Amino acid sequence: MRKFAFVVFLPALLSSCAPRQTLYFWGHYEEVLYRSYAKPGEGGPEKQIEKLEQDYQVARSQQKPMPPGWHANLGYLYYQTGKLDEARQEFKTEKAAFPESTVFMDRLLAKFQKS
């Protein structure tokens, strides 16, 4: 299984070596999304949060912004683990970074006020 993971992720590693300017720091975001569907039993929200928090530290050290939806997604994971304050904070961060998310983020924030 370990060998298999290496085979799968080597192309990703190779491609990340090439100089390619991206607007955002992607890290493990899409991999985390994929794995949550493909292997739902493998970790749950806590594991996903851990990965994303690690990515955030790296992104900060490189002064790269997180992609659209990233903070909202993390907020939802916090919500699933009962960390409501952290969840609210992430939804607000999403809104501040991308005003296009305002309607949806306000809807989620309002839902939390009631519960």
Binding mask 88-107 for another protein (x = CB under 8 A): ----------x-xxxxx--x
Q: How far is the CB of 77 from another protein (least distance, A)?
A: 9
Residues 91, 109 contacting (CB under 8 angstroms): yes
Q: Which of residues 16-55 bind another protein (CB under 8 A)?
A: 18, 22-24, 26, 29-30, 33-34, 36-38
Those residues with Cβ within 8 angstroms of residue 44's Cβ, 6 or more apart along the chain or in another chain: none
Q: CA 92, CA 71: separation in Å to the nearest integer?
A: 9
CB nearer another protein, residue 54 or residue 102: 102
Q: Which residue has the tokens 């749950």?
A: 44
Q: How many residues bind another protein, per CB under 8 A?
A: 33
69 lines the binding site for another protein (CB under 8 A): yes
Q: Annotate 39-90 with DSSP letters as a single string.
A: -TTSSHHHHHHHHHHHHHHHHHHTT-PPPTTHHHHHHHHHHHTT-HHHHHHH
Binding site for another protein (CB under 8 A): 4, 7-8, 10-11, 14-15, 18, 22-24, 26, 29-30, 33-34, 36-38, 67-70, 72-73, 76, 98, 100-104, 107
